[in-house]
Amino acid sequence: MSEKYEQMMKQFPHLYADRNASMQVTCMCWGIDCGEGWHDIIRDLSAELEAMILKLPPEAQEQVKASQVKEKYGGLRFYMTASTDEMEKAIGRASRKCSTICEDCGQPGKNEELFGWWRTRCHDCYLAELVYRCPSRLTLLIETGIAVTQAEWNKYKAKHKDK
């Protein structure tokens, strides 16, 4: 998990009460298993959920916390140990937002399959992944039928030259 998510979790101690618990107890030991492009959406959702937990009776507060936060098929999966309808609605809203935002960089994106994996990404990050995974780079771009102009290609090379 990235440092950015690690820091964010500390801001919501009730919601992420299990963040240091063992893997026998919770999937939260894996942290937030999502790309940083979704950070703001997950932070806003976390703030909403934390506020909702604090409104519960004190004896109920400990029962309500995040149990797993991850990406699956390019969508956000946010599971709670227990929840109210209001919480589920907030999770639904955040999940719908994530399905339109690039998980890698936070720009507008869409859900697309690449080599059998569904992810939500912008065009730039999609192509960057394509180039990164392809051993014979340009050949695959041609084989997959994705049109890339020379200018686009130069831009991707410049942006992802570290890969």
Q: How many residues are recorded in the chain?
A: 163
If binding is defined by CB under 5 A, does position 114 make contact with Zn ion? no
36 or 50: whose CB is closer to Zn ion? Answer: 36
Residue 138 to residues 73, 151, 153, Cα–Cα distance (Å): 26, 14, 9
Residue type, 111: N
| Helix, strand, or coil (residue 122) | coil
Q: Tell me which DSSP letter residue 74 carries.
A: T
The nearest distance, CB 14 to Zn ion, in angstroms, is 32
The nearest distance, CB 9 to Zn ion, in angstroms, is 23
If binding is defined by CB under 5 A, does position 127 make contact with Zn ion? no
If binding is defined by CB under 5 A, does position 125 make contact with Zn ion? yes
Give the x/- contact pattern for Zn ion in 83-112, rule: CB under 5 A: -------------------x-xx-x-----
89 or 163: whose CB is closer to Zn ion? Answer: 163
The nearest distance, CB 56 to Zn ion, in angstroms, is 37
The nearest distance, CB 23 to Zn ion, in angstroms, is 31
DSSP string, 6-65: HHHHHT-TTTTTTTTS-TTT-GGGG-EES-GGGHHHHHHHHHHHHHHHHTS-HHHHTT--
In the complex, which residues of this chain contact Zn ion (CB under 5 A)? Answer: 102, 104-105, 107, 122, 125
